[in-house]
Amino acid sequence: MTAHDMRRDEIDAFLRDIGTGVLSLTDGAETYAIPESFGYDDGTLYFQFGYGDDSNKLSYLSTTDVATFTAYTVDPARSVVARGPVEPVSDPADDRAAAALAGNATIPNVNVSPDGDVQFAFYRLDPDELSGRAFGATPDGLVG
């Protein structure tokens, strides 16, 4: 199997198309990785977090300086890793987060009855590091 680093335009197209990934947070001792739907616009990943009063997500988020977000597909095999701080969208009137999520987020259609009140807020990850890998078929004539 051959692999190559994805160019920035390939990464951008991949993130606009994929819609879901895994967000990894830490409290300094333990990690917390959760599947998240996201939107992508102009180099920024946007999330809409739903959370309750005893949210593990917000607890870990408050102690994470650098989060890692991984989006991937199996066929074809592609992955993109974004690293950077996750911060609340500061201006609720800023519609970029909502537009990005509406444009490419994959929001599961499930019937969930939470035990308590659920609040929603927009967050963003402006990557300090952004990389991607694409894997292709093994070239003819090579034994792997």
The structure's pTM equals: 0.85
**Amino acid identity for residue 16 in this structure:** R
* The two three-digit tokens of residue 107, written as one number: 């929001």
Beta-strand pair 78-84/86-88: unpaired
Residue 113 — very low, low, confident or very high, per pLDDT cuts 50/70/90? low
What domains does the chain contain, in order, with CATH numbers?
2-136 (2.30.110.10)
Contact criterion met (CB below 8 Å) for 32 and 24: yes
How far is C-alpha 132 from the chain's CA centre? Answer: 13
Please calculate the CA angle 88-34-102 and round it to the nearest 5 degrees: 55
Mean pLDDT score of the chain: 87
pLDDT tens across 47-81, in order?
A: 998 888 888 999 999 999 999 999 999 989 999 99
Residue 93 — very low, low, confident or very high, per pLDDT cuts 50/70/90? low
* The two three-digit tokens of residue 5, written as one number: 């680093």
What whole-number distance in Å separates Cα of residue 13 and Cα of residue 133?
Answer: 13
Contact criterion met (CB below 8 Å) for 12 and 127: no
Contact criterion met (CB below 8 Å) for 38 and 19: yes
Check residue 63 and give its pLDDT: 96
- Give rounded-to-5 percent helix, strand, coil for the chain: 20, 40, 40
What whole-number distance in Å separates Cα of residue 89 and Cα of residue 97?
Answer: 8
